[in-house]
Amino acid sequence: MKYRKLGNSGLEVSSLGLGCMGLSFGYGPATAHKDALHLLRKAVDLGVTFFDTAEAYGPFDNEELLGEALEPVRDQVVIATKFGFAGGDSKAGLDSSPKRIREVAEAALKRLRTDRIDLFYQHRVDPKVPMEDVAGAVKELIWEGKVKHFGLSEAGVTSIRKAHAEQPVAALQSEYSLWWREPETEIIPTLEELGIGFVPFSPLGKGFLTGAINKDTQFESSDFRNIVPRFSAAAREANQAMVELLSNIAQEKAASPAQIALAWLLAQKPWIVPIPGTTKIHRLEENLAAADITLSAAELSEIEEAASKIVIEGARYPEHLQKRVGN
């Protein structure tokens, strides 16, 4: 496994992390406990040192799972978790009050079976709480040694700058992939200017870029992709052009479409660390092998030229969730 540093923070992690949400939340029924533990420990064996969770994933179940799985190797790994929702429930509204931030930190430390949170993200910007107050609350936790680094998720440029001025931001976590490239306009240049690392979630387009999903795919009733416009049957059919592009490149490289999608992300900046999630060991192994794939300048240009001609159909969030991002 190769390693990368998240911006100027000095925080070094495996060049591919593991997004753990799907083990407990969001993509249908939770993975069986023993299988989830096995996958997390297999990830450690394969060299992953960066694990992403949140109190809202469950709520709470995902943090407890990681605490159990990673306790024996705690000093070998970096654990990121998040605050920002009332009562830890993503459906209950936002709450990044300083009091709530401290409550989340104290509870997460217990669930994660640790004495520090390596990277503590604000899950979504809370318009009711000044960013200076949010960053100040995390700064206090850093002074106390309970948190090591401060992060933001899905924040806009203004919020990033305000937060960074109060307490240096180590990383921004937002969606970024070949089928969601909005961060390239303002976010990535701002992160580069400020020396902040970028942690793309859904780097495989919530599974779409693997090629395993088509217009006929039926998602389990509790799978949140059922409400995502980009995953309507019509949009999935239209968006197959991006999968075909990845498949063509993959054939030339003796790789999979997922591996090319991840290798493309890794080639964008040396301080980008994608966190693909999976519930399957063979997908974990496949994803991690992407770190060993190098795309030449010619191949990157080929992808860029072909991708520029593809119009992606469908919004990435339903309207009520879209209101929470980019603030």
What's phi and psi for 11, nearest 5 deg? -80, 110
Query: CA 315 to CA 180: how far, in whole Å?
Result: 10
Query: DSSP secondary-structure letter at 78?
Result: E
C-alpha distance from residue 163 to each of 156, 159, 195, 204, 255 (Å): 11, 6, 13, 29, 40
Residues of the chain with confidence (pLDDT) below 70: none
Kindly list the catalytic residues: 57
- Nearest alpha-carbon partner for 237 in 204, 205, 213: 213
The whole-model pTM stands at 0.98
Q: Residue written as tokens 């004495």?
A: 115
pLDDT tens digits for range 256-291 = 999 999 999 999 999 999 999 999 999 999 999 999
pLDDT value, residue 206: 97
In this structure, what is the dihedral angle of CA atoms 131, 132, 137, 143, given to the nearest 10 degrees?
A: 130
Q: Residue written as tokens 């902040």?
A: 196
Task: Check if the beta carbon of residue 99 is closer than 8 Å to that of residue 91.
Answer: no
Report the DSSP pairing between strands 117-122 and 78-83.
parallel
- What superfamily does domain 3-322 belong to in CATH? NADP-dependent oxidoreductase domain (3.20.20.100)
Query: CA 186 to CA 133: how far, in whole Å?
Result: 24
Report the DSSP pairing between strands 147-153 and 117-122.
parallel
pLDDT value, residue 104: 98
pLDDT value, residue 50: 99
pLDDT value, residue 249: 96
Residue 27, judged by CB atoms within 10 A of its CB (0-12, 13-18, 19+), counts as buried
Q: Residue written as tokens 């010619």?
A: 298
